[in-house]
Structure 1
Amino acid sequence: MKRINEYKKLFNVEQDTDLKKLKSTYRNLVKEWHPDKFLEGDDRAAEAEIKSRQIIDGYHFLVSIAPETKTRNMEKYTASTQSGIADYRHKGQLLEITFFDGTSYEYFGVPKSVFTKLNHSDKPLRFAKRNILNSYLYRQSAKELQEA
């Protein structure tokens, strides 16, 4: 959740922003912080390099959790969640679930208590459908997107 809030603050966006506004903000930030804009000896050149990477990562992240992206990918998501849970990992408040069809999704803000209940459940898919899959903010796993 901390990462989401940092990216939203960086892009100065509200809870649900449309992709058109997000893209416009992204382009303006990239223009402002592009590393080629600063001279190589300038102290701000290194800062611009870091900031530009952060802007690019933030943009891709916010696009992946945008309502329009979720709507566009809902059919695939539904099919994946019906295939069954192959594996899951929890770190902090991030739960990553891998389904039998090979897709992985990250769920944000999942407390340890919910993960523990998932872990002890006789039917993890049933528990996940009722308590996780539609209750928490999610996106397709970044690792999977990089491999594609």
Structure 2
Amino acid sequence: MKRISQYKKLFSVEDSINLKDLKKTYRNLVKEWHPDKFQDGDAGQEEAELKSVEIIDGYHFLVSIAPETKAANLEEYTGTITNSTILDFQHKGLLLEITFQDGATYEYFGVPKGVFIKFLNSDKQMRFARRSIFNSYIYRKSKKELQEA
């Protein structure tokens, strides 16, 4: 959740993410922080390089959790959580990453340790996840799955 709020703050996003406004803000930030605008050897160039990487990562992250992106991918997501089983999972902080039998990997943000422990100890993990995790937390398709494919 810290990551989401950090990126929303960077892009001045208040509540829901509007892709059109996000793209406009992204372009303005990239223009402002492009490393080529700074002279060679200038300390500002290194800062600009770091800031531009943060801007690019933040943009791709916010696009992946935007309501429009979720709506576009809803059929695939629904098929995965309905027809596939859980192959592997890991919980780190408030991030739960679940890999499904069909090869898709999704990240769920804000999953507290208590919910993860209940999921871990559940006799029927898929049933528990359908009821308590899949549609209760902000999620996105993980880049790991895209890179491996």
For the criterion TM > 0.5, the same-fold answer is: yes
**Which residue is 1:115 aligned to?**
116
Deviation at 1:147, TM superposition (A): 3.4
Deviation at 1:146, TM superposition (A): 3.0
> Hey, what's the Cα distance between the residues in 1 that align with 2:141 and 2:62?
12
- Post-superposition CA distance 1:92-124 (Å, at most 9, x none): 000001111110000000000100000011110
Contact 2:35 2:52 in 1 (8 A): yes
- Post-superposition CA distance 1:15-68 (Å, at most 9, x none): 212101000000000000000110112110000000000000000000000000
Matched, 1:100 2:104: no
State how many pairs are aligned.
148
> Hey, what's the Cα distance between the residues in 2 that align with 1:80 and 1:34?
39
Query: Quick one: which amino acid aligns to residue 126 of structure 2?
Result: L
**Which residue is 1:84 aligned to?**
85
- Give 5+ residue unaligned stretches, structure 2: none
> Hey, what's the Cα distance between the residues in 2 that align with 1:63 and 1:110?
20
Contact 2:17 2:62 in 1 (8 A): no
> Hey, what's the Cα distance between the residues in 2 that align with 1:42 and 1:10?
24
Q: Counterparts of 1:1-148 in structure 2 under 5 Å?
A: 1-82=1-82, 83-148=84-149
Deviation at 1:145, TM superposition (A): 2.6
> Hey, what's the Cα distance between the residues in 2 that align with 1:17 and 1:120?
35
> Hey, what's the Cα distance between the residues in 1 that align with 2:147 and 2:56?
14
> Hey, what's the Cα distance between the residues in 1 that align with 2:148 and 2:61?
16
> Hey, what's the Cα distance between the residues in 1 that align with 2:10 and 2:114?
31
Query: Does the residue aligned with 1:116 lie in a helix, a strand or coil?
Result: helix
- Post-superposition CA distance 1:68-92 (Å, at most 9, x none): 0000000000111121111111000
RMSD: 0.8
Identity of aligned residues (%): 68
Segments ≥4 residues shifted beyond 3 Å: none
Contact 2:7 2:62 in 1 (8 A): yes
